[in-house]
Structure 1
Amino acid sequence: MTTLLSLPHSPREFGFYLDGAFHGGRPLFERASPAHGVPVSRIPKCTVADLEAAVVAARRAFEDRRWAGLSGAARGAVLLRAADILRRRRDEIAYWEVLENGKPISQARGEIDHCIACFEVGAGAARLLHGDSFNNLGDSLFGMVLREPVGVVGLITPWNFPFLILCERVPFILASGCTMVVKPSEVTSATTLLLAEVLAEAGLPNGVYNVITGSGRSIGQALTEHPDVDMLSFTGSTAVGRSCVHAAADSNFKKLGLELGGKNPIIVFADSDLEDAADGAAFGISFNTGQCCVSSSRLIVERSVAAEFEALVAAKMARIRVGDPLDAATQVGAITTAAQNDTILGYIARGTAEGAQLLAGGQAVDLGRGQYIAPTLFAGVTPDMAIAREEIFGPVLCSLRFDTVEEAIALANDTVYGLAASVWTKNIDKALTVTRRVRAGRFWVNTIMAGGPEIPLGGFRQSGWGREAGMSGVEEYTQTKSVHVELGKRAHWVTG
């Protein structure tokens, strides 16, 4: 017996968040639930002048050291209070994630739990952040390496994980002592604004966290180009990431953190637990309706068990519960935007046209309202097909076959991306060989999408720059400064 949450009676109107206060008086963007087709939120269409004001506020908060000047313990205490408030408001925030994004409520609740952990880890990291010393420069010279916050950070987040990706960054940025201006996706802004309430209640000083809502084309571009933003963290497509690189170079050479696209392999050997691997493959491509940078979208399976394994995966996919995301029993919810829905269906049609064999799914699911796509499996895929090379960002899995370990590694690396990968085998030699040689920033052995915020995440190649989470995720938002201290009397250069 499951409980179905109800929709709001009318859309909630939000203000943008600037220098510790919510502001209105702007034209509003109305967001309809992708699962239900009814309006759920109204978000301000901010102006570039609003962005400018937010950068000024963040700069002022950084320069007067109201946050950076605190001890790591004091910053950590704010982050721990934020974690406690998130725990109290978990179901509320998860509900708004579902309304705007379309993901299942059970998944959204699990994501908020992960976000709470991010704040707890960030709190500890704030206390542990440190530099280094060099006592080996001789009796007359002492060396230190200081870690200092980079300054004002611009943070641009996507629509697929609006709150999770936000919280994989914000507590670590705050732990470093930086201030920030956040630009969420215009279709999923609500929870980023709810976090402003959480942080204010936790005691974060005004001006440290600012949220400016609007389109990526105007607000996002202006934030990327802003000369008084010291670092930009962007999560999204590789194409837009490339434009961020150009914009940063053309403005102030700001530091960049980029988490971009992926075409991630899941490598299955004949000696693996095939039932476990099949469940991992079905989960890895269907989680968040495949709208996930680390979705395992390329199945690379040993030829001797390929037909058997593909049948197992297809059977798993057929049993996945696609439905209303407000139903706790739902496993796969709605596609977040109409444009993405069209893109996914277009790739499915293209896969069929290219000659791939459709084993599961392949069609839209009609639930009377909203936009849904059944988890889809293609077999008989060759590496040159578009569905094998391009990021689909939907629940579409392409199966390719191999005969040797070397061939599996070559197929896994046959991509411009390098975000995530997994290998399934009971042979430790094969597991470690593949782990070492496949180019990916995150790797799983006999599991998928596992782990917590203690461990850094990020990509190789065209999947991005830098690392988020863990101590690496705090250090990412710092600069290192080398300091030399002369002891005693100077040996004079000018003599006589």
Structure 2
Amino acid sequence: MASSTTSNSEGYEPKHIENRLFINGEFVPSISGKKFDIINPNTEKFAASVYEGGAEDVDVAVEAAKEALPAWSALGAAERGAWLNKLADAIEKNIDEIGYLDAISMGRPYIGDAMAAYAGYFLRYFASKALDVHGESSLNTAGMVNVTFRQPYGVCGAIIPWNMPLLVLICKVGPALAGGNTLVLKTSEKAPLSCLVVARLCKEIGLPKGVLNILSGFGRPCGEAIAKHMDIRKLSFTGSVTTGRAIKKAAADSNLKNVTLELGGKSPLVIFDDADLAKAVPAAAFSILSNSGQACIASSRVYVHANVADTFLEAMKTTMAKIGQPGDATAAGTSRGPQADKMQFDQVMSYMSYAKEQGLDIRLGGNRIGSTGYFIEPTIIANAPEESKVVKEEIFGPVVVINTFTDEADVLKRANDTEYGLYASVFTKDISRAMRFAKALEAGSVGVNCTSPTVAIDMPFGGYKQSGEGRELSKHCLDEWTEVKSVYISL
């Protein structure tokens, strides 16, 4: 792995912040000439102005992707993988710039070589999977040899969120390109800057023009145009349930394009009275404070057995207060930054107001920190009614609800009583109980004696229920970016 140029981004500032669209291997202004501003959530001051992609820009990008498709899909799998490995090298060498731009656009703390390691590791994994796209054969029909091919969809679309721009971009770009597709990708209007660095790196390494096109823009009109485009055969989206539902409808109303959705969560964490609290407490605290709670897999609902509830609550208060103090995301040593923007800040604070109005038991936090920047205190709400908004709805902030239980069947029912099903966790030393819960919890991923953000790149990731459909990561990820053809050969 190439090392990053410095160990942190404090004091780092790029000489130039790219703000144009990346189409057909070149940076271009949007056709409309419209721009939108990025406000630094650490300071509430102007950070950058970025060209806004529109429907007409999507059309141009799709044409570029169509032109690039025949040559790209005809490349050998190893050659496509080699391009992804080159991009991984380039990202690692420019990780300071990427980290700084995320810090000033959406407040994600710069995490230096760790981010470089994950980014490079993920992209290289997808590069290796290019060689694993295989068909099957059958001799079961007399006089026939029947085989299947897995082939690229063609021109594909991707729409990514603001909370983890680089890693989610890689999780779309890697398997899409490895599978032989070309891609039109829209970044979030909250955090487009770091993705434009990736675009620049594609140009620098000489990635064939039109293979990857990156547009900055809003859900409407840019994202909607991608979802409705008749020449886009496949779309992968990560974001909210509301937007995911709109995307699926747009796909159905246009050309019935295949859609993969990774949506929201309200992840339960169940802690039994035999659990190792020395492991459970820091795991639970880190899960809800990581990225200031702006993670779809955050363990935002904790159910702790009544026998250890008081001990757990006191330990959580101490731990969250200690590790949850935020700071400027560009500063060395900052582990938690602000909420991404004023909209996210206001959304979280509206839940704090609701909790106070309802007389809920706020054991820690519940307030803004300071008067500048979108910083919110680490917050614990105890014993909230199960039908309460803070239990049912995704807050997307550093807010955890801790309720108690005494009965295994009851807590399982409460854990599953949600429209979401992205991640769930259980802490217990009883292996039989752990496996019962792993089977019964209605979630695409289950942690046993660990919790989110624990995932493994070689394990499929995705949601049950309204948390989405399809899977990312693992060997299954290329299944989402290729389609199956049956070929019948008469002897």
Instruction: Tell me the TM-score range normalised by the shorter chain.
Output: over 0.9
Question: 1:96 pairs with 82, 96, 101, which one?
Answer: 101
Query: In the TM superposition, what whole-angstrom CA distance separates every residue of 1:292-320 from its partner, at most 9, and x where no partner exists?
Result: 01011000111111121111111111112
Q: Secondary structure at the match of 1:285?
A: helix
Q: Structure 2 counterpart of 1:222, which letter?
A: A
Report sequence identity in percent: 36
Cα distance in structure 2, aligned partners of 1:412 and 1:83: 39
Instruction: State the partner residue of 1:46.
Output: 53
After superposition, the CA RMSD in angstroms is: 1.7
Instruction: State the partner residue of 2:136.
Output: 132
1:414 pairs with 2:414: no
1:67 pairs with 2:72: yes
Structure 1 pair 268–353 and aligned structure 2 pair: CA distance change class (3 A) = same
Q: Secondary structure at the match of 2:339?
A: coil
Instruction: State the partner residue of 1:298.
Output: 301
Question: 2:225 pairs with 206, 222, 225, which one?
Answer: 222
Check whether the contact 2:18–2:197 (CA below 8 A) recurs between aligned residues: no
Q: Secondary structure at the match of 2:442?
A: coil
Cα distance in structure 2, aligned partners of 1:174 and 1:4: 30
Instruction: State the partner residue of 2:455.
Output: 451
Cα distance, 1:39 vs structure 2: 2.3
Cα distance, 1:477 vs structure 2: 0.7
1:151 pairs with 2:158: no
Question: 2:85 pairs with 80, 86, 90, which one?
Answer: 80
Check whether the contact 2:102–2:108 (CA below 8 A) recurs between aligned residues: yes
Structure 2's unaligned 5+ residue stretches are 1-6
Cα distance, 1:40 vs structure 2: 2.3
Cα distance, 1:222 vs structure 2: 1.1
Q: Secondary structure at the match of 1:52?
A: helix
Check whether the contact 2:263–2:466 (CA below 8 A) recurs between aligned residues: yes
Cα distance in structure 2, aligned partners of 1:7 and 1:83: 21
Question: 1:14 pairs with 15, 19, 24, which one?
Answer: 19
Most deviating of 336-345 and 400-409: 400-409
Q: Secondary structure at the match of 2:73?
A: coil
Cα distance, 1:121 vs structure 2: 0.5
Question: 1:34 pairs with 11, 27, 41, which one?
Answer: 41
Cα distance, 1:31 vs structure 2: 0.9
Check whether the contact 2:261–2:470 (CA below 8 A) recurs between aligned residues: yes
Cα distance in structure 2, aligned partners of 1:186 and 1:109: 26
Check whether the contact 1:66–1:205 (CA below 8 A) recurs between aligned residues: no
Check whether the contact 2:39–2:341 (CA below 8 A) recurs between aligned residues: no
Instruction: State the partner residue of 1:56.
Output: 63
Cα distance, 1:451 vs structure 2: 2.9
Max radius of gyration: which structure?
A: 1
Q: Please give the residue correspondences for 1:287-366 in structure 2 after superposition, counting only pairs within 5 Å.
A: 287-320=290-323, 321-366=325-370
Structure 1 pair 369–264 and aligned structure 2 pair: CA distance change class (3 A) = same
Check whether the contact 2:12–2:100 (CA below 8 A) recurs between aligned residues: no
Check whether the contact 1:32–1:41 (CA below 8 A) recurs between aligned residues: yes
Check whether the contact 1:375–1:396 (CA below 8 A) recurs between aligned residues: yes
Check whether the contact 2:18–2:193 (CA below 8 A) recurs between aligned residues: no
Structure 1 pair 421–430 and aligned structure 2 pair: CA distance change class (3 A) = same
Check whether the contact 2:428–2:434 (CA below 8 A) recurs between aligned residues: yes
Instruction: State the partner residue of 2:4.
Output: none
Structure 1 pair 325–93 and aligned structure 2 pair: CA distance change class (3 A) = same
Q: Normalising by the residue count of structure 1, what TM-score does the alignment of the two structures yield?
A: 0.94
Cα distance, 1:8 vs structure 2: 4.4
Check whether the contact 2:73–2:181 (CA below 8 A) recurs between aligned residues: yes
Cα distance, 1:5 vs structure 2: 1.3
Instruction: State the partner residue of 2:3.
Output: none
Check whether the contact 1:186–1:215 (CA below 8 A) recurs between aligned residues: yes
Cα distance, 1:11 vs structure 2: 7.7
Cα distance in structure 2, aligned partners of 1:51 and 1:9: 28
Q: Secondary structure at the match of 1:46?
A: coil
1:479 pairs with 2:471: no
